[in-house]
Structures are given as structure tokens and as C-alpha cells.
Structure 1
Amino acid sequence: MRVDLFDFALPAERIALRPAEPRDAARLLVVDGDGLADRGVRDLPELLEPGDVLVFNDTRVIPAQLVGTRQRGDARVAIEATLHMRAGEDRWLAFLKPGRRVAAGDRLVFGEGGNACLLGALEATVAEKREGGEALLVFDLSGPVLDEAIAAVGHVPLPPYIAARRAEDARDRDDYQTVYAREEGAVAAPTAGLHFTPALFERLAARGVVCVFVTLHVGAGTFLPVKADDTADHRMHAERGQVSAEAAAAINAARAAGRRVVSVGTTSLRLLESAAAEDGTLAAWSGATDIFIVPGYRFRVVDGLMTNFHLPRSTLFMLVSAFSGRERMLAAYRHAIAAGYRFYSYGDASLLWRAAPA
């Protein structure tokens, strides 16, 4: 499909630079076959039925943005690396900036003069140079020691549309993390989950809504623009995830009983659709997925999707267009812009119900 079919104009003032306070005070636009309804995230329990299943991504964001230098002989060049997928105990795939100044075999030094570890700075070798500024970095440290060093010198990798307008600060360490984050490894937050609070979880439980947790480590590829003119020519970067046997059983039981499965975020949805069998059933699953969902995709598991508002021409706006219909989503976004909804990672949310197959 043509990428320009998913374009729309978004005023810059609609981009949220901070989250709502408290988190569940955000607005919620409900999109279904009956039209649009302006609600709030706190209304979510009454919008669901007892026995419905909410599926959350419990990945935890790490400070994956590293600033340092490329060292080649006596020559030094400032370099920035955004880790996006772990490839081993001592190695990560990363996007480098400026990528053209780095070659295989170069040494990179991060956190010079800091407290990365007892040995001093955090160092890595560029093992492979790939397309689009991507590289495979092999660090001198490994395992938990490497994780501690990254945590010591790394920065929260704020989305480009926020980072371009303000610097990361101490608030982001908490704001850009869900209250239920558990499994470390994400470079970007599963942002629909940022709206949930302990009080909202209590009200969902009182309503009889079942909460299930899966893990997909969101990579920096989620922020990459679609440069191709046609969706068929765009390559998604892989992300690693896991569905436990317990989560699979809970979702299968809900579907068998005719209850709805609602993904909190596009990451949970992509993981479930990657793990599902053709008939929509799930089993324990782990691995990497690069699933790219565009209109025409047949959804196998998910009935509803709670998600934030996405960038024009992005893979995520293509996904919600596949889920609820392109024209319906374009109309919903026009309404959201006119009504003052806040967009992107720190913005408001929407609750989408799946469109009937054409």
C-alpha cells in the first residue's frame, strides 16, 4: 500500500512533552462501530465486561542511550549509540550517530570520567557495520556487570519528537516507565501502559477484568521513519518477546468462553499475533518478531486495543488502521486533533474495537 495513504497533519502543539498527572487522568477516545466517544482512562473499568482480559507488556525500559567517542589510533570522534536489541551476554545491536564515521573494528568508549564500573569507562568494539547506521557492538563487560555499567552511564532514550524539544531529566526515569515494569530490556516504553495506576488496577479487579502480562522488549526501531513509498518495501527491526504458558492459558480460556481480549499497547498486540496459531490459540512462546501489520491483515487473537495516538505515516498508525479501518482512524485522529487530545508517548489514549472483516 502507498505510505502516503497514512498521512495526516498534526500541529506541533498537540505533541505532549510530559505525561498527565496523575497518570490515569489522561483522556480516552473510544472508537467503535457506533462512532467516537470522549471518555477518560479512569472510565476503562466500566467500558469493559467482567471476564474480559487486558494484556500488558511488562518490559522495563533501560537507559539505553550511550554517549562517548570513537577511537581510531589518535583520532577521536564524538559518537552516540542507542541500544535496541540484545544479541548475547556481551553484545547489543545499536543505532550509531553519526553512523558514517564508524567502521567494523573501531573501539567505542562510553562514560569516560564516570562511574561505569570499577575498571572505569564502558568500552566496546564494533563487530559488524550494518545498513541504516546499525551496528553490532561487543562490550568488554558481560552479563549483569554489563547491565550495571549501562545503567550507570546510559540515558533514557526519549522519543525523537520529545528529545528534539527538551532534554531528558530525572523525572523521565519514572515517567517513562510503567508501574508494573519488571523484565529489563526495552529501549522504548510500551506507552499505553503509562496510564495505569495501582488505583486503576484495583478498580479493574473489582470489575472482574483479568490482567495478564507478557513481555516484548521494545526496540529503537519503533521510532524509525518509514522512508519507502510503499509498505511492501519497508523492513521492520526485530524485537524479542515471551508469552508464558500461564498467560497463554488465561487468554485461551477467555476466548473459549466468548470473552474479549484487549491489548494494552501495540507491543502486546504484535507479540500475541506473532505467537498465535492460525486458529488464534496460544501456547508458551519466546523468540524474535518483526511482524508488520497493515490493512488487510487478519487478526487472530485481539478484539480490542488501548493505544496512544501515533505519528503520521508510521508503522503504528498503519497497525491501528488495519485494526479499526483506515478511514475510521483518519476520522478519529481529525476529531482528536480538533478536540485537543495530546499525542504520542506522553499523550492521551484511545480504546479501539476491531472492525469487522471486509
Structure 2
Amino acid sequence: MSAFPDPRQLSIHDFTYQLPPERIAPEPLPDRDQSRLLVYRGGTITDQRFAQLPQVLPPDALLVFNDTKVVRARLFCQKPTGGLIELFCLEPVAPHRAIEPAMQQTGSCVWKCLVGNGKRWKTGPVTLEFMAEDQPATLTAERLEAAEGYSLIRFSWEPAALPFAEVLRGAGHLPLPPYLNRTDTAADAVRYQTVYAAHEGAVAAPTAGLHFSEAVLADLTRRGITEARVTLHVGAGTFQPVKANQMAGHAMHGEPFVVTTAVVRQLLAHAPRPVLAVGTTSLRTLESLYWLGAKLAQNPAATEETLHVSQWQPYETGPEVSTAAALQAVLDYLAQTGADALHATTQLLIAPGYRFRVAQGLITNFHQPESTLLLLVSALIGPDWRRVYDHALAHDYRFLSYGDSSLLLP
């Protein structure tokens, strides 16, 4: 029986701390791997540099990275009268809902967007002139309808043969976290991406990975520490504050993820040695993979439309499925459907009361007070999260996206 209350009854106000504004890192350090690394191992805290990570990892660990790539999702369009309207692309709606085909769409598309200065945008289209593939181009945006929290925007562009990915590369800005309160620079174009980013689709960086340099990756290989790559496209909901008094009133954002057959096999073969997630997005992907496998173990004939992990699925009672059986059920499903990767979505909320099935540790930055990410850290290391954060504050660690890192090994 868990010593924790039902996560739905938790109050986010119990997961707070005082974060002085000057402790939020406004810029990245000159070198990725020179950030500091707080190591929490079974209750003991030590201070290192990130470049030393390969030395302090369990030698038989499997590191799982999220190889999503941040897209330039902020667009500053101009009204005919000259005023600027900011459009923040959240997720595609038509003609594709999946991110990969949506990025290759040509001519026009519809996206959910956040709209800045929206009250000044009464009617009519707004436009944006830009350069793409060394030629002048024009993007036109029309608001189709406004809903709570977002608007549906139809984009069309000339030359129409450009894929939407090229439109965003030429016209867009990197969506830096709102708390940085500054526009993106040429340096951010490099440093707000991981060195291993591969698949475009995120609107926020998987920031735990920003510390990895080519030198650190080479050192991991030299020491025989194995790696795996998954893809979860981080959504803007990662910055969504919890406004409800109890977590039962908070709706988690959904995010698409992809895990290849080869990685599922790798995870199955690696047991019982430790699997460590690089970042909360990798961890949520690994644990979501278990819950999809548990679902498939009970219903092998599930369709791709039902491959979704809901927010409270882990906390509902049901027959226990072992991790090995769940991963094998995923492999069986992929073999049966002839697919080489699992494509699914997750709204998984990991909070105190959660029992981890795949990941045994986490590399992560320091998160905002009263955030679902802090709940996740507490689920992993229990009440010691306060000791970790008190230590980081007392020893001048830098916080949030461009801040320092921690290795959490409960």
C-alpha cells in the first residue's frame, strides 16, 4: 500500500519553494558541459561538473535521450495597419494532425495557435515577408475561430511548393520559455537545441539534454555506457501552470511520442540493469511505453487511435502487468501490425504515489515551483526533493531551462 495520498488529492501548493529571480539563468554558459551537476545518490548529495557525468553514472546504465528538435514556432505577423500580431504554433489540425507530415505540408495548413495582441486583430488576414531557400516568400494567416486558450489559424504561403518546415525556418523565431522574457538570438539557435536533435516538432527544448557536448557523448561511448533515442515532441503545455487547488482539477497536456522497435528490444534486453532518463520528457515516454504495453497485454487488438495514455491511467486499479510482459506486448503489437515504431500520445501525470516501471533514475534541470515537473521529481526521490532544491539554492546553482543539471539516483 502506498504511503502517499491519491495524487488527485494533492495540492500543488505543497510543492513550492522560493526561487529568487536572479537565480533563473537568462543565457546558456559558453560551454554546454561546464554547467554544474548536483548528484543525488540514495540520499547523499555531491557537487560535480556536467563534464564528469560519465564518471559518476552507474557503469551498466542505459541512457535514454529525447531526440526531438525545436521548431521556430513563434511568428510575428503584420496587420495592414502596421501592428504586430504574435502567433505561437502549438499543434497541427489539418490536413494532418501528426507532426511529421504536418511539417512537410505544402501550400496551406491549419494549426492551433496562441495569439499575442489578439484583441487588436479584429478581421482580415495578417502577413509576414521572409526569405526561404534564398528567395523572397510571403506567409498569410487567417483566424478561423477562437476557442478557450487558443485560436485556429489557417496559414497559406507563396511559393506554395515550400514545406511548412521551411516556412517556419525562414519566418519563425525560437520559442524561448516565457520567463526568460527576451527575444531569441543567433546563439539561441544553436544552444536551445541538443547536439543530437533529429526530428522537428517540439515547441520547447528537452532542456536536460542541452548540457551534453560531443565530448561528453564520446566519453560515454568510451566507457561503454549504452544509449537509446526516443522522440517526444515537447508541447507548450510544459509551461502550463497548475491553477487548480487539487491536482484532480488540472488537465495535463497531450504530447505525441515515437519509440522504435529496436529501442523496445533494447529496453527488454537491458533489464535488470538501470535505465536512466535524460530529462522528464524521456522519462514520461518510457513510463508511457509501459502503460501502453499493459493496455496491449490485455487487449492485443487495440487500434492506433486507442494508443493513448491518459492522465490518471496509472492510478486506476487493474491487473498488474510486469514490465517485461508490457514491453513484450508492445513488440508483439508492432510485429503484428508490421510497424517499425510505436506512434502514440501521452497525458501521463507522474506525481507522488506513482510507481516507476521502466526508469530507475533521471538527469534533469531545476524546475519551477508549483509545477508538474516538480511533482515528477518528488515522485522519484520523495520528500528529499526539498533537500536537493535547498542545497542547489544554498550553493548557487542556476535554475530552469538554461540552468544547471542534476542526476537523481534514488
TM-score, normalised to structure 2's length?
0.78
**Is 1:97 aligned to 2:154, yes or no?**
no
The 5-angstrom pairing of residues 1-358 of structure 1 reads 1-69=10-78, 78-87=84-93, 88=96, 89=102, 90-99=109-118, 107-111=124-128, 113-115=129-131, 120-132=137-149, 134-141=150-157, 145-162=163-180, 164=181, 166-255=182-271, 258-276=272-290, 277-278=293-294, 279-280=322-323, 281-282=326-327, 283=330, 284-325=341-382, 327-354=383-410
Q: Distance in 2 between matches of 1:129 and 1:181?
A: 33
Work out the CA distance in 1 between the residues paired with 2:289 and 2:124: 38
Q: What is the one-letter code of the residue matched to 1:131?
A: E
Please tell me whether the aligned partners of residues 107 and 123 of structure 1 are also in contact (alpha carbons under 8 angstroms): no
Find the residue that maps to 1:200 and give its secondary structure: helix
Q: Deviations over 1:175-203 (max 9, x none)?
A: 10100011011111100100011111111
Aligned residue number for residue 106 of structure 2: none
2:289 maps to amino acid = A
Match of 2:308 in 1: none
> Matched residue of 1:246: which SS?
helix
What secondary structure sits across from 2:40 in the alignment? strand
Change (3 A) 1:286 1:271: same
- Change in CA separation of 1:100 and 1:297 when aligned onto 2, cut-off 3 Å: farther
Alignment length (residue pairs): 342
RMSD of aligned Cα (Å): 2.1
1:216 and 1:240 in contact (8 A); partners too: yes
The answer (yes or no) to whether the contact 1:68–1:108 under 8 Å persists in 2 is no
1: distance between equivalents of 2:89 and 2:282? 21
Aligned equivalents of 2:223, 2:73: Cα separation in 1: 38
Aligned residue identity for 1:184: E
1:114 aligned counterpart, secondary structure: strand
Decide which moves more: 92-101 or 298-307: 92-101
Distance between the aligned counterparts of 1:144 and 1:213, measured in 2?
A: 29
Runs of 4+ in 1 over 4 A off after TM superposition: 99-103, 116-119, 141-144
Q: Following the alignment from structure 1 to structure 2, what is the Cα–Cα distance between the partners of residues 7 and 50?
A: 34
Say which SS state the counterpart of residue 226 (structure 1) adopts. Answer: coil
In structure 2, how many angstroms separate the alpha carbons of the residues matched to 1:300 and 1:231?
A: 22
1:49–1:207 CA contact under 8 A, matched in 2: no
Deviation at 1:305, TM superposition (A): 0.4
Structure 1 residue 155: Cα displacement: 0.5
Q: Hey, what's the Cα distance between the residues in 2 that align with 1:248 and 1:177?
A: 25
Once structures 1 and 2 are overlaid, which stretch shifts more, 206-215 or 270-279?
270-279
CA distance in 1, matches of 2:121, 2:377: 37
Provide the rounded CA distance (Å) in 1 between the counterparts of 2:121 and 2:238. 23
CA distance in 2, matches of 1:41, 1:305: 14
Give yes or no for contact 1:236–1:292 (8 Å, CA) kept in 2. yes
Q: Residues 263 and 247 from structure 1, CA distance in 2 versus in 1: closer, same or farther, beyond 3 angstroms?
A: same
Does the 8 Å CA contact 2:365/2:404 hold for their aligned counterparts? yes
State the AA in 2 paired with 1:97: G
Instruction: Please state how far the C-alpha of 1:335 moved relative to its aligned partner.
Output: 0.9
Do the aligned partners of 2:79 and 2:127 also contact (CA within 8 Å) in 1?
no
2:303 corresponds to: none
Q: CA deviation at 1:33?
A: 2.3
Partner Cα distance (2:121, 2:26) in 1: 32
* 2:130 and 2:136 in contact (8 A); partners too: no
CA distance in structure 2 between the aligned counterparts of 1:289 and 1:353, rounded to whole angstroms: 24
Check the 8 A contact 2:111/2:153 in 1, yes or no.
yes
Which shows bigger deviation, 337-346 or 224-233? 224-233
For structure 1, the 5+ residue unaligned runs are: none
Q: State the 1:349 CA deviation.
A: 0.4
Contact in 1 for aligned 2:230/2:258 (Cα 8 Å): yes
- Secondary structure class of the residue paired with 2:268: helix
C-alpha distance in structure 2 between counterparts of 1:259 and 1:108, whole Å: 56
User: Could you tell me how far 1:116 is from its partner in structure 2?
Assistant: 5.8
* Contact in 1 for aligned 2:43/2:384 (Cα 8 Å): no
Q: CA deviation at 1:346?
A: 0.6
**Worse overlay, 13-22 or 275-284:** 275-284
How far apart, in 1, do the equivalents of 2:231 and 2:37 lie? 24
